[in-house]
């Protein structure tokens, strides 16, 4: 059996490979980055919770045949991309219309036309 340096399959010059019956392309953007880029828009006074964002994200992935990251990794991965793309930080000090404390992003919302069908408020 031949051996290959791991860098052969990674990075911007990585080569496609067959893994578990699926073709893996290391040059493709991860699904969470595509979701942030395609579906999130700035909207003053809007609040976006992690729960709502993840629900829209999974719908986005299903409708496009993408692999969704697990919920436990979603917040940290998307928070970094949102910070880079929109300059908004993940916050723990937000109140919704009912006065309940929530966690998420202020000034951001899901463009439901792009993301797919509506999965609920927030």
Sheet with 91-95, side-by-side order of all strands: 40-49, 101-110, 91-95
In a domain, residue 41? The reply is yes
In a domain, residue 95? The reply is yes
Q: Which residues of the chain have pLDDT under 70?
A: 1-27, 115-122
pLDDT score of 59? 95
Helix axes of 71-86 and 50-64: crossing angle, nearest 10 degrees: 100
Beta bridge partners of 57: none
Q: What does the alpha-carbon distance between residue 40 and residue 12 come to, in Å, rounded to a whole number?
A: 25
Is 115 within 8 Å of 60 (Cβ atoms)?
Answer: yes
In a domain, residue 61? The reply is yes
Tell me the CA distances in angstroms from 85 to 35, 37, 88, 114, one per residue in order.
Answer: 12, 8, 8, 18
Query: Structure pTM?
Result: 0.73
In a domain, residue 122? The reply is no
pLDDT score of 121? 47
In a domain, residue 50? The reply is yes
Q: How many domains does the chain have?
A: 1
pLDDT score of 10? 53
pLDDT score of 119? 47
In a domain, residue 18? The reply is no
In a domain, residue 121? The reply is no
DSSP, collapsed to helix, strand or coil, labels residue 121 as coil
- Structural domain boundaries enclosing 93: 29-115
What CATH number has the domain bearing residue 76? 1.10.10.10
pLDDT score of 113? 74
In a domain, residue 11? The reply is no
Kindly tell me the number of DSSP H helices and DSSP E strands found in the chain.
4, 5
């Amino acid at each position: 059996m031949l051996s290959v340096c791991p860098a052969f399959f990674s990075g911007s010059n990585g080569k496609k490979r067959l893994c578990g019956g699926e073709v893996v392309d290391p040059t493709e953007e991860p699904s969470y980055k595509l979701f942030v880029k395609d579906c999130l828009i700035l909207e003053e006074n809007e609040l976006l919770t992690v729960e709502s964002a993840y629900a829209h994200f999974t719908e986005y992935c299903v409708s496009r045949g993408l692999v969704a990251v697990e919920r436990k990794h979603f917040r940290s991965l998307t928070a970094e991309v949102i910070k880079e793309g929109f300059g908004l930080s993940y916050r723990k000090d937000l109140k919704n219309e009912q006065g309940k404390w929530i966690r998420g992003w202020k000034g951001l919302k899901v463009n439901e036309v792009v993301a797919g069908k509506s999965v609920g408020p927030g």
